[in-house]
Structure 1
Amino acid sequence: MKNYILFDHDGVLVDTEFWYFKAGERALAEIGLILDEEQYVRDMNQGIGTWAQARAAGIDEATIDRQRGIRDRYYQDYLRTESIEIDGVVETLAELSKHVRMAIVTTAKRTDFDLIHEKRQITQFMDFVLTREDYNHSKPHPEPYLTGLSLFGATASETLVVEDSARGLNSAVAAGIDCAIVHNEFTATHDFSAATHRIQTLRELKDIISL
């Protein structure tokens, strides 16, 4: 039986990861660099998906810093204009809230997170939200999920993490928490062999938390 769920955000509750890639691709194209999607997905696990390729191509740090700001603006434009809904999320959270307490633990910046949720109903079901500014070490370090446990006053054994990336899975495993991986086409090639559960949609969580 699980009493708490810690959700990743991007790719789990909203479909944003592709648009983050597209924003980086667009920013690097401006300086003549083609961002390789397969390499980007591999680099995601280290949190260096966009800029590793830029550095490998000899792009200097000042240019990277400038294009990072441009990438962030492009990404926010996509968040305002593209469809990022995942079918059934709100309905599933409403049902789960009858049985467990829930929170979000994300590597998203607070500015982006707040923009995404200006007109959405997801956060009403959450006890708290941790964004990138709320901890010192990002995933795959265990700190984000250990911080979530601490805020809940929960043990690892009564908690479930829901993720869509190997980086997030590794963070959960390092924190000693069972992890359910929900299918996301963008991260489907990641190594999820350490996952406790593999699911296609969040609707399957109701059965998992009662095990």
Structure 2
Amino acid sequence: MTIRTVLFDVDGTLVDSNYLHIDAWQRAFAELGVPVDSWRIHRALGRDSGQLLRAVAGEHDDEWDDRARALHAKHFRELAPRLRAFDGAADLLRAVAGRGVRVVLATSAAEDELTMLRSAIGADDAVPAATSADDVDEAKPDPGILEVALRRADAPAAEALVVGDSVWDMTAAARAHIRSVGVLCGGVGAAELTDAGAREVFEGPAALLEALDRLL
């Protein structure tokens, strides 16, 4: 099976950002008078923001949801100086591109957050295309982001591979009929990732880089 395109999730997959997102969401919910345990937020990370809000804070009106998103964005911007790419992340993207395989970033993050994440990775020279939550009506686990990514890469699903850290990444890949592998650096266990559809699980980008020739 030939892989000609790799679709990378970003938060928790290439950048050590999940726990900063948890902090930002927790501060947002506290300001809105709805304290939420951090583990509940972690379990929902990677999902469409509307689904995350309902899962961890319950049903609220659109105005409340918009306020929560705005507060999260504000706090995440404040935490952005702490963003760092995982070891091997930039090297991995460049190694994939260097083998003639197309690299596309496919994230449930908003476009302004993606800009910060890309800056933390520092490998835009290897990334010809990217998609974000701003490109679709609903983010992961809906497959729309991955489908947009395939169109931008002019790539068939049968020749693509998804790399992600959450069960939502694996679920979206399965719904889009794309093979997937998982990484543990986002904080989700190997069994959950494989149960959700990951064909193989790696510790993080550096471990994936070591296995790259076999995977591609």
TM-score by length of 1: 0.86
Contact preservation (8 Å) 1:23, 1:71:
yes
Q: Does the residue aligned with 2:180 lie in a helix, a strand or coil?
A: strand
Which structure has the larger Rg over C-alpha atoms? 1
1:74 corresponds in structure 2 to: 75
1:85 corresponds in structure 2 to: 85
How many residues are matched?
A: 207
Contact preservation (8 Å) 1:43, 1:49:
yes
Q: Which residue identity does 2:92 align to in structure 1? A: T
Is 1:201 matched up with 2:204? yes
Q: Does the residue aligned with 1:191 lie in a helix, a strand or coil?
A: helix
Q: Does the residue aligned with 1:161 lie in a helix, a strand or coil?
A: strand
Q: CA deviation at 1:91?
A: 1.7
2:130 corresponds in structure 1 to: 129
Contact preservation (8 Å) 1:54, 1:64:
no
Deviations 1:135-176 (A, max 9, x none): 233111122112222222222221111011111111101111
CA–CA distance in structure 2, aligned partners of residues 65 and 135 of structure 1? 17
CA–CA distance in structure 2, aligned partners of residues 12 and 171 of structure 1? 15
Question: Compared with structure 1, are the counterparts of its residues 83 and 68 closer, same or farther at alpha carbon in structure 2 (3 Å cutoff)?
Answer: closer
Identity %: 24
CA–CA distance in structure 2, aligned partners of residues 142 and 83 of structure 1? 27
CA–CA distance in structure 1, aligned partners of residues 93 and 40 of structure 2? 33
Question: Compared with structure 1, are the counterparts of its residues 133 and 61 closer, same or farther at alpha carbon in structure 2 (3 Å cutoff)?
Answer: closer
Is 1:161 matched up with 2:162? yes
Q: Does the residue aligned with 2:58 lie in a helix, a strand or coil?
A: helix
Contact preservation (8 Å) 2:6, 2:103:
yes
CA–CA distance in structure 2, aligned partners of residues 10 and 50 of structure 1? 18
Structure 1 stretches lacking a partner, 5+ long? none
The structure whose residues are more often helix, as a share, is 2
1:148 corresponds in structure 2 to: 149
- 1:55 pairs with one of 35, 49, 58: 58
Residue range with higher mean Cα deviation, 179-188 or 116-125: 116-125
Question: Compared with structure 1, are the counterparts of its residues 60 and 12 closer, same or farther at alpha carbon in structure 2 (3 Å cutoff)?
Answer: same
CA RMSD of aligned residues (A): 2.4
CA–CA distance in structure 2, aligned partners of residues 169 and 160 of structure 1? 11
Contact preservation (8 Å) 1:7, 1:104:
yes
Question: Compared with structure 1, are the counterparts of its residues 204 and 160 closer, same or farther at alpha carbon in structure 2 (3 Å cutoff)?
Answer: farther
CA–CA distance in structure 1, aligned partners of residues 146 and 121 of structure 2? 24
2:114 corresponds in structure 1 to: 113
CA–CA distance in structure 1, aligned partners of residues 147 and 67 of structure 2? 33
TM-score by length of 2: 0.84
Question: Compared with structure 1, are the counterparts of its residues 20 and 145 closer, same or farther at alpha carbon in structure 2 (3 Å cutoff)?
Answer: same
Q: CA deviation at 1:34?
A: 2.5
Q: CA deviation at 1:124?
A: 1.6
Structure 2 stretches lacking a partner, 5+ long? none
Q: Does the residue aligned with 1:49 lie in a helix, a strand or coil?
A: helix
Contact preservation (8 Å) 1:104, 1:129:
yes
Q: Which residue identity does 1:49 align to in structure 2? A: L
Question: Compared with structure 1, are the counterparts of its residues 117 and 132 closer, same or farther at alpha carbon in structure 2 (3 Å cutoff)?
Answer: same
